[in-house]
Structure 1
Amino acid sequence: MATLCVSQTIQDEILEVNRTMEKAYNKGELARIAEHYTRDGIIVGNSTEIKGREAITAYWENLQGRHIKWELENVEIIDYGSTVIQRGISRLQFYHENKAFQSDVRFTLVWVKEDNEWKIKIDHYSRI
């Protein structure tokens, strides 16, 4: 029973970080999104591999002035103790050449504790 409570608490913490990241994007505070990755975090996607927080910050800042709305849908959170795996769907709206687009992807995040906070170590996504 105690494990279930701990897992529920961890799930709540992870989902709260998701909401914080969405809010940062929606407000145009894109560099703040990178704060939720570990210092040596990695983003891996279709033809993309970005390593380290500085590069991740640049990745998110590339959408500055083009952001519209971001929604993260949680599918599953699995607690392995010191590591948590989250699967979900991301719906990211942005402008490209003055037209609104939506990028829908499935994501898998590997969360670890860094500085006593849950941070993203690996962010893997693929288009839906």
Structure 2
Amino acid sequence: MFGCLSFLLIALSLSAATPAVADEEKTLRALEQKLCEAFRSSNAEVIGQIEDDNYTLTSSTAKVTGRADDLAEAKNNEPHYDVFSNHDVKLRFYGDTAILNGITSVKGTSAGKPFAADFQYTDTWIKRDGQWKLVASHATKIVQ
């Protein structure tokens, strides 16, 4: 009897948590989409709101950059993105930390020259004071 009661209580607690997790997943997916659009439209204000002050990106060339670099690129519209989108995204939660893995597809111009590429990426998000902030990213170019 105790085992059945324990199982029932655990099942009820898991089902109660499911809507909250679904809401958090929806929020993070929307934030990632908003960030992609901010890069595509060179919206430094939105990038600054979403990225943590100490945000770092390890690029596909192993260069480590930060929030200030992203803001400068957006303000200068360099590179210019015609396409900046994420797809095939998988999301996992670890308390107030979330890891997203997926593919970023980009197309645009840099120094007047066209480019197009796909990158396998990992984004790390932390929830602080009720807000999700992007704290770290890693991108690896997918070679066709």
**Is TM-score (shorter-chain normalized) higher than 0.5?**
yes
Aligned 1:72-83 pairs, distance under 5 A: 72-83=86-97
Determine whether 1:36 maps to 2:53.
no
**Count of aligned pairs between the two proteins:** 127
Q: Name structure 1 gaps, 5 residues minimum.
A: none
SS of equivalent residue, structure 1 residue 47: coil
Greater relative contact order, per chain length (Cα 8 Å cut-off, separation 6+): 1
1:2 counterpart residue number: 16
Pairing of 1:12-23 with structure 2 (within 5 A): 12-23=26-37
- Could you tell me how far 1:50 is from its partner in structure 2? 1.2
TM-score by length of 1: 0.83
Look at both structures and tell me which one has the larger radius of gyration over its CA atoms. Answer: 2
Q: Which has the higher strand share?
A: 1
Question: Which sections of structure 2, spanning at least 5 residues, go unmatched?
Answer: 1-14
State the AA in 2 paired with 1:95.
T
Rounded to whole Å, the distance in 2 between the matches of 1:65 and 1:44 is 17
Deviation at 1:59, TM superposition (A): 4.5
Counterpart CA distance in 2 for 1:65 and 1:117 is: 29
Report the counterpart of residue 24 of structure 1 in structure 2.
38
Q: Is the 8 A contact 1:78 1:86 kept in 2?
A: yes
Query: What is aligned with 1:47?
Result: 62
Distance 1:68 1:74 in 2: 20
Identity %: 19
d(CA) in 2 for partners of 1:98 and 1:72? Answer: 24
TM-score (norm 2): 0.75
User: 1:3 Cα deviation (Å)?
Assistant: 2.5
